[in-house]
Amino acid sequence: MNRAETLEQLARLCRTGIAAAPAIESSGVMELDCALPHGGWPVGTIVELMPLTTGIGEFRLLMPLLARLTRTENYIALISTPYIPFAPALARHGIQLERLVVIDAKTQEDTLWAFEQTLRCKSFGAVVAWPTTVRDREVRRLQLAAEAGRSIGFLYRPPAAALESSPAAIRLKLQTNQNGLEIDILKCRGARGGFSVTIDSTRLNEEAPSLPSAVQDVRMARSSDHPPSASHFFLCCGSASPYPSCLLKLCKRARSRLPPS
């Protein structure tokens, strides 16, 4: 454990007073659960995913968790996705669309702002974001937001980010080999990193869609019952179900961020 991680752990102990075992959400992928400490994704953390290229299963890896969360009255959010979400594919793999929020933030600043706000909202079980760039201090803010909201933040970063240090709790580099999706665990809070696991691509393909097939062109109608949103924030959900108050506040604050017309 390096100095930064030691200081981070001490700060967390000062906030909580005890070194309690973290709450865990299973990834739904046995090989990955066996590799991660405590058997899954730790709640209240940021997880960095660094795929070598898109479409190799980097989104499929999250689908079992996202689907399960939406079935337990949690919301999930996708922020600044590289493709427009393809709702039928998500629904086929268990995502309850009425629990899905998609935020299209047009600027890097708005992406990180929306990421932090949804992480803090206790109605969200997981938030997935694709910012163009992110700095250490911004990851620290996101980590604090995830702790406050008891959610899991998945942060997609370019493969070059693997060469940099980061305060994220878990850092995974993803690439394919002849056997499937290879996951290099670069960092893992509570255990030593620097090892790899491989997930059979055939089984993973059966469980969930790849990112390009799950997030691509589709017409998603807006409903008049949807909460008001700023013009640079596109929010869409599967139905006009009641929204959590924190999401309504996020929409209101998004409107206030618009420049005067």
Walk me through the domains of the chain, giving residue ranges and CATH numbers.
Answer: 25-218+226-255 (3.40.50.300)
- Long-range Cβ pairs for the range 228-232 (8 Å, 24+): 228/252, 228/255, 229/254, 229/255, 230/254, 230/255, 230/257, 230/258, 231/258, 232/104, 232/105, 232/106, 232/107, 232/110, 232/258
Q: What is the pTM of this model?
A: 0.79
pLDDT band per the 50, 70, 90 thresholds, residue 174: very high
Give a three-class secondary structure readout of 11-61: HHHHHHCCCCCCCEECCCCHHHHHHCHHHCEECCEEEEEEECCCCCCCCHH
| Residues belonging to the chain | 261
Quote the percentage of the chain above a pLDDT of 90.
51
Average per-residue pLDDT in the chain? 80
Tell whether the model's pLDDT for residue 261 goes beyond 70. no
Quote the percentage of the chain above a pLDDT of 70.
72
Tell whether the model's pLDDT for residue 116 goes beyond 60. yes
List CB contacts of 148: < 8 A, sequence separation 6 or more.
Answer: 119, 120
Tell whether the model's pLDDT for residue 188 goes beyond 50. yes
Q: What is the DSSP letter of 85?
A: B
**Inter-residue contact 93 to 209 (CB < 8 Å):** yes
C-alpha to C-alpha distances, 53 to 28, 33, 99, 111, 203, nearest whole angstrom: 23, 23, 28, 21, 20
**Inter-residue contact 238 to 97 (CB < 8 Å):** yes
Query: How do residues 10-68 score in pLDDT, each as one tens digit?
Result: 555 555 554 456 799 999 999 999 989 888 999 999 999 999 998 898 999 999 999 99
